[in-house]
Amino acid sequence: MFIPNLLASECNFMLQKSILYEGKTKIAYLTDDPEKILLEFKDDITAFDGKKHEIIPGKGRTNALISAKLFELLEKSNLNTHYLNFVEPNAMLVRKLDMIRLEVTCRNIATGSLVKRLPFKEKQVLNNPIIECYYKSDEYHDPLINDDHIKALKIANEFETEQMRETILKANSILQKFLLERKIILADFKLEFGRDSKGQIFIGDEISPDSCRLWDKTTLKSLDKDVFRRGELNVKEIYQEIFRRIVGA
């Protein structure tokens, strides 16, 4: 059975009025439990460091449900995520994490910035997944960094960096299998990580068409935020299609 559609009152927590933080596409609210927050997904969609921005009615609920489904899938495979429950209509109850300022990307097929930086051909299937880390900063435009940068900037220690790498590779295998069964190719995706109050590493943020490149297995057409980046007009329909394939009716 899929994620229970719970109201806040059924999740055994009380929502506080104070906002912990608000980003481009999500708002985090404090609860009466200091170890848990409510992560609300907005209908906003952005690209190019927020320079391109629109509102797509229903997108927040769509991304929240997709993320909940994929987090539950990873949890069943013994990967630690911040996900606890889906909360109607467009939120997740999650563990409160101190987020690590990294976007960890796993690439299975060459596309996007990879083919601009290195001599790969567009849509070239990679012999093995390529893991890249980006420093999460609008000011510096999320630059690509290596392990030495991570250590020098004290973003994470060597053990944590290796743990994040191993985790995203495991998640990649799980997600690829699940998505291929739904005629979806996982070209690449990013994960964000954070530490709980005990210093344990968890996958955080979201897993959705905003953070993954998802292609139709037959046509190789994009089923993700790339359609918005390219200025296509069918963004809402694309998000609804990927929702149907991943979550169901």
pLDDT digits (tens, 9 = 90+) for 57-75: 999 999 999 999 999 999 9
* CB contact at 8 A, 234 and 227: yes
* pLDDT of 195 higher than 50: yes
pLDDT grade, residue 4 (50/70/90)? very low
Task: Tell me how far apart the 2 most distant CA atoms of the chain are, in Å.
Answer: 54
- Sketch the domain layout of the chain as residue ranges: 8-96, 99-246
**CA–CA distance, 93 with 96 (Å, rounded to integer):** 9
pLDDT grade, residue 246 (50/70/90)? very high
What's the rounded mean pLDDT across residues 102-126?
98
Give residues with Cβ within 8 angstroms of 136, minimum separation 6.
101, 102, 103, 142, 192
Give domain 8-96's CATH number out of 1.10.3720.10, 3.30.200.20, 3.40.50.40, 3.30.1340.10: 3.30.200.20
User: What dihedral do alpha carbons 97, 103, 109, 112 form, nearest 10°?
Assistant: 140
| CATH dotted code for 99-246 | 3.30.470.20
* pLDDT of 7 higher than 70: no
CA 54 to chain centre: 19
User: Is the pTM value of this prediction over 0.75?
Assistant: yes
pLDDT grade, residue 217 (50/70/90)? very high
